[in-house]
Amino acid sequence: MDVVGYAPLYEVMQDTPLAPWADVLPGQIQQAFGNRPHGDLPKWREVVKALVPPFPAGECILDAPCVGVPPVGAGDGQRAHIEQALRRLHPWRKGPYCLQGVHIDTEWRSDWKWNRLQAHIEPLTGRRVLDVGCGNGYHCWRMAGEGARLVIGVDPGQLYVMQYWAVRQFMPGPPVYVVPLTGEQVPGLAAFDTVFSMGVLYHRRRPLEHLRVLHTHLRPGGELVLETLVIEGGQGDLLKPAGRYARMRNVWSIPSPPTLVAWIEAAGFCDVQLRDVTVTTPREQRRTDWMRFHSLPEFLDPDDPTRTVEGYPAPIRAICTAKKSLSVS
């Protein structure tokens, strides 16, 4: 059997409002992996295959900062084999993960973002959740840890999807799936109770269009959780970086919090609430042994860490929640 097997997902989508998507999803995945495969995809598949553990799946830890499984079952030799395989999926950006005693110290302390939003969102128990731009799915596991009945993450990054599959080898049970698609490829079926979009909005050339697409994924009364870069400022203020921002390509627009709230309202959401605004520090985003490229410390002006190397305001991130009105279908 292929190590990347979505059949259980198609099955759980049947008899739900997601059934029409289940009809086209196999073709979409085939197209993503089959027609436009990343050059390293065969290597990544081998890594995932090599990780099929020779011990039964045990307890999953989904409600703690380090997501994973405890170090039971694997001896020292197996642990070394696991670590060697996981390292071949470098760079690991989102995490951390603890898998059979192997601690993947990722570039981001993604658990900090989770801590900032957790108290502000509708409880996820029993909810059907979509995470647009989920990376390798770290937050998807945390959503399952909060009791979500189904979590589907979408991300076009094939390495991130294969990192998800590597983690999945250790945790085959939870209802968490990451598929190699963009948010725009998900049909708007108004089928999700909660939709997350975190770290994606500034990568979209047309941010309002992204928000409108998210609106189509939510059922009436459902909740949007949106996280993005912001600048300090008032209504209407917006930074449109010329060229790179903190060395990132494709950062198109960074609104002030009031501008962001206005955008979310303009996309049709109600009850928009700004929940958190936090400066990103080099403790949250940094180079590690599992992500050996440059990271935030190298993206900030060494003489003035309140500016990026390009002279823009240093990264600040905001979290908003919003609702889809009950009277909208």
Ligand X SMILES: C[S@@+](CC[C@H](N)C(=O)[O-])C[C@H]1O[C@@H](n2cnc3c(N)ncnc32)[C@H](O)[C@@H]1O
Length of the chain counted residue by residue? 329
Burial tier of 11 (Cβ tally within 10 Å: 0-12, 13-18, 19+): exposed
Nearest distance, CB of residue 136 and ligand X, angstroms: 8
Q: Considering the complex, what minimum distance in angstroms separates the CB of residue 199 from ligand X? A: 3
In whole angstroms, what separates CA 154 from the centre of its chain? 8
82 vs 226, which CB is nearer to ligand X? 226
Q: Cβ contacts of residue 151 below 8 Å, gap of 6+?
A: 129, 131, 140, 141, 143, 144, 175, 176, 177
Q: Which two tokens stand for residue 45?
A: 């598949």
Min dist CB 175 to ligand X, Å, is 19
Pick the closer one to ligand X by CB: 114 or 170: 114
Closer to ligand X by Cβ: residue 193 or 284 = 284
CA distance 40 to 22: 28
Is the bond leading into 96 cis (omega within 30 degrees of zero)? yes
Residue with smaller CB distance to ligand X, 79 or 203: 203
Footprint of ligand X (CB under 6 A):
94, 110, 113, 132-135, 154-157, 160, 182-184, 198-200, 203
Q: What is the C-alpha to C-alpha distance for residues 259 and 70, in angstroms, rounded to an integer?
A: 44
Q: Considering the complex, what minimum distance in angstroms separates the CB of residue 108 from ligand X? A: 6
User: Smaller CB distance to ligand X: residue 100 or 197?
Assistant: 197
Residue 78 Cβ vs ligand X, minimum distance, rounded to whole Å: 30
